[in-house]
Chain A
Amino acid sequence: MRLSKFEPRQAVIAGERKTTSAMIASIAPDGIPTRSAPFGHTLARLAHHRNGIVGLTADLAKYTDLHVFAQEHPDRFYQMGMAEQVLMSAAAGMAREGFTPFATTYAVFASRRAYDFICMAIAEEKLDVKIVCALPGLTTGYGPSHQATEDIAIFRGMPNLTIIDPCDAIDIEQATEAIADHKGPVYMRLLRGKVPVVLDGYDYRFEIGKARLLREGADVLFISSGLMTMRVLEAAKALESDRIGCAVLHVPTIKPLDAETILTAARRTGRMVVVAENHTLIGGLGEGVAALLMREGMSPVFRQIALPDEFLDAGALPTLHDRYGISTAEVARRVREWTK
């Protein structure tokens, strides 16, 4: 058995050093406008006129932006400690007593460790619990223990659960308000810290269960969610110079899928459908869209931009996003190849 997957390295070549992206790493490239802790600020604001909102976390308030809420509403904040199972079941109990709990942790812990508690204590009972989780997909360089590459695959099979994968700060702000109003359990993937602002340039409004066409294009239809919508918007601009016209359909609600809007966009013939997601290619948006198209008897040229079915490496996020094909440059490169 090999003791390491890598060869021994004596030193890093000068100028090439990239440090491992920490758990609190921002996914915002330099120079892009950002907003700080959009989820935490929005929830804190909402709580002023929605008395039922309470916040619970499993020792990750600071890392899920819930600390903003905790500072503003200390008596409505519950620190549950490093205990995701009781985090979820206690959230269920509070919902039973009429409150609207927002429970936060990392996506890996909610999906892998607390699944049964979310399933039986929350979803089966259709309780009003909002599960908001940081580090979705590949948004940390800490390796598989913290990279929730399969959270959507895990949660898509759970009845009653609404799944949201917002793109940027605007999406997160609007989605937070929407899920607070929504009756029933929700799982929302969270980008935290300094979160890019992208969708302000589009006529965009988040609505649960609705996909939005952000731009039109004749050759490629990107169907994307989460931070990959940022990437495909950038890639679409880059591909203009190659005379490849790209439409972008943003699908922030993974479940229930907005079948009507997706089918309308996909019905326009002659376009390659490229589903882009910050998630393993198994069991996520890509497979959901593929199944939908097949059920409707549609068979466009279909491609997936997604993470491989592997435990991913540790390292710096830019390195890893290139390595696994979800950087803007990689998206554009692959689309050029596919459209040759």
Chain B
Amino acid sequence: MADGTTEFEMPRSGSNVSLAERAYRIRRHAVRMGEVQGQGYVGQALGIADVLAVAYFHALRYRPDETLWEKRDRFLLSIGHYAIALYAALIEAGVLPEEELETYGTDDSRMPMSGMAAYTPGMEITGGSLGQGLGIAVGMCLGLKRKRSDSFVYNLLSDGELGEGSTWEAAMSAAHHKLDNLIAIVDFNNQQADGPSTATLSSEPVTGKFEAFGWHAQRVDGNDIEAVRAAFDIARDLKETRPRIIVCDTRMAKGVPFLEAREITHFIRVEPDEWTLALEALEKGRPQ
């Protein structure tokens, strides 16, 4: 691509689609999965859709039809409950067929409610037990360096997950081993199971902590696609032998105003008749 940061190995036919349109479609896939299952972490999926659009349609190097391609960038989802969001992105990326979204969360589906490596092509690790992804990323980065690979490892964490002590073992380790092929992304939606994450176990100041650990840290509005894209480019192009982190402040349920306005909780309740309304709301906000 013109900016030299991305090397897609996917059909070029979709390459003139804007990132905003990709984000819209990721949101739509997620809401449709929620509709099928009648539940799901739709709030998180809507919130992180812009970040995933940038990851899968700007930053990552991958082949949709060869998910274990050795030269791919690895994208690790620590937060297993965000699977609905990643499935939506993988559908949009052509890794999973769109019609399969109707199986989301059903028995024997390749798309279980919590992301697991053995179930889904493109799901690199089994998440769900939070605080494991960053440590696995450390090992993969060490392994890639042994193989003299230029692939990056991305790890999407949540703000609540930063409460796990193992995240900080991994943070120390990544800096110690100078893992400049590691890019961590934190979805900072200030929400975890029991309430706002800043009121549950505050990780603030997040960037200050990671900087003190020896990381290059950025913080951006995670629903501002241009800002997210710029941050991904900086993280990738940085000529420092340090791991990188991008803290993305996101808004739960972004793109569906009536859900955004609802009292925000970890598991947003959506009434059966509201899924259609949600799809309509998304359509209204669809980029022209």
Do residues B126 and A90 form an inter-chain contact, with CB atoms below 8 A?
A: no
How near does chain A come to B103, taking the closest CB pair, in angstroms? 22
Do residues B139 and A96 form an inter-chain contact, with CB atoms below 8 A?
A: yes
Do residues A96 and B136 form an inter-chain contact, with CB atoms below 8 A?
A: yes
CA A97 – CA B128 in complex, angstroms?
A: 21
Do residues A96 and B143 form an inter-chain contact, with CB atoms below 8 A?
A: yes
Which residue, of B117, B136, B173, B177, has the highest number of chain A Cβ atoms within 10 A?
A: B136
Do residues B126 and A86 form an inter-chain contact, with CB atoms below 8 A?
A: no
Choose from A80, A88, A94, A125 the contact partner of B140 (Cβ within 8 Å): A94
Which of A114-122, A183-191, A249-257, A270-278 lines the interface with chain B?
A: A114-122
User: Which A residues touch B116, using CB under 8 A?
Assistant: 124
| B-side interface mostly | helix
Chain B proximity mask over A124-145: 1 for CB below 8 Å, otherwise 0:
1100000000000000000000
Closest B residue to A83 using CB positions: B169
Do residues B172 and A97 form an inter-chain contact, with CB atoms below 8 A?
A: no
Do residues A93 and B129 form an inter-chain contact, with CB atoms below 8 A?
A: no
Choose from A101, A117, A125 the contact partner of B118 (Cβ within 8 Å): A125
Do residues A78 and B142 form an inter-chain contact, with CB atoms below 8 A?
A: yes
CA A88 – CA B129 in complex, angstroms?
A: 14
Tell me whether A93 and B140 are in contact in the complex, defined as CB-CB below 8 angstroms, given that A117-B132, A117-B135 are known contacts: yes
| A-side interface mostly | helix
Choose from A80, A89, A98, A121 the contact partner of B143 (Cβ within 8 Å): A98
Please report the total number of B residues contacting A with Cβ < 8 Å. 31
Choose from B140, B141, B173 the contact partner of A83 (Cβ within 8 Å): B173
How near does chain B come to A88, taking the closest CB pair, in angstroms? 7
How near does chain A come to B74, taking the closest CB pair, in angstroms? 8
User: Which B residues touch A97, using CB under 8 A?
Assistant: 139-140, 143-144, 146-147
Tell me whether A120 and B129 are in contact in the complex, defined as CB-CB below 8 angstroms, given that A78-B142, A92-B139 are known contacts: yes
Chain A proximity mask over B93-110: 1 for CB below 8 Å, otherwise 0:
000000000000000000
User: Which B residues touch A328, using CB under 8 A?
Assistant: none
Closest B residue to A88 using CB positions: B135
Do residues A93 and B141 form an inter-chain contact, with CB atoms below 8 A?
A: yes
Do residues B170 and A86 form an inter-chain contact, with CB atoms below 8 A?
A: yes
CA A80 – CA B138 in complex, angstroms?
A: 10
Do residues A94 and B166 form an inter-chain contact, with CB atoms below 8 A?
A: no
16 other contacts beyond A90-B139, A94-B143, A125-B118, with CB at 8 A cut-off? Answer: A81-B173, A86-B170, A89-B170, A92-B135, A93-B137, A94-B140, A97-B147, A116-B129, A116-B132, A117-B132, A119-B129, A120-B126, A120-B129, A121-B125, A121-B126, A121-B132
7 smallest CB-CB distances across A and B, nearest first, come from A93-B139, A89-B135, A97-B143, A90-B139, A85-B166, A93-B140, A83-B169
Chain A residues within 8 Å of B, Cβ to Cβ: 54, 78, 80-81, 83, 85-86, 88-99, 101, 116-117, 119-121, 124-125
Pairs across A and B, CB under 8 Å, 13 listed: A81-B176, A85-B169, A86-B166, A89-B132, A89-B170, A90-B139, A93-B135, A93-B143, A95-B139, A96-B140, A117-B132, A121-B135, A124-B126
